[in-house]
């Protein structure tokens, strides 16, 4: 991924997302998804902006189908904001920077 956005899988989702001390944005994505790739630089920029306040992670839906199914991911990209181990809000589709920033601010 990048130095600011980690990759999570079914094996570490619980520890990295659900048990995180700080809010976490999970980017549900796939390698073939062009809107997912288009949104990546925005997420990278926001990960730097909110470093230490909010974690940003990516979960590949093709490789982690159980988690994607558990959170009823029907379209990608989907961002879900987790706080205290529970989903707080989500954004489906290619989000603009202001929309994603608003989503992050709900956790602060």
Q: For residue range 46-83, list pLDDT tens digits in order.
A: 999 999 999 999 999 999 999 999 999 999 999 999 99
Structure tokens at 28: 């549900």
Is 97 in the active site? no
Q: Is position 1 within any domain? A: no
Q: Is position 13 within any domain? A: yes
Catalytic residue among 5, 8, 17, 36: 36
DSSP letter, residue 7: E
- The pLDDT, as a whole number, for residue 15 is 96
Q: Is position 69 within any domain? A: yes
Per-residue model confidence as pLDDT tens digits over 92-108: 999 899 999 999 999 89
CATH number of the structural domain spanning residue 68: 3.40.30.10
Domain count across the chain: 1
Is 71 in the active site? no
- pLDDT band at residue 27, thresholds of 50, 70 and 90? very high
Its domain, for residue 53, covers 6-105
Q: Is position 39 within any domain? A: yes
Catalytic residue among 5, 17, 26, 33: 33
- The pLDDT, as a whole number, for residue 1 is 57
Whole-prediction pTM value? 0.94
């Amino acid at each position: 991924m990048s130095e600011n956005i980690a990759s999570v899988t079914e094996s570490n989702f619980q520890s990295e997302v659900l048990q995180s001390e700080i809010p976490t944005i999970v980017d549900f994505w796939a390698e073939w998804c062009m809107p997912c790739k288009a949104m990546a630089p925005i997420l990278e920029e926001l990960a730097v902006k909110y470093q230490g306040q909010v974690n940003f992670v990516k979960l590949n839906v093709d490789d982690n189908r159980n988690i994607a199914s558990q959170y009823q991911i029907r379209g990608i990209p989907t961002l879900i904001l987790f706080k205290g181990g529970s989903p707080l809000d989500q954004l489906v589709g290619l989000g603009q920077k202001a929309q994603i920033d608003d989503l992050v601010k709900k956790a602060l």
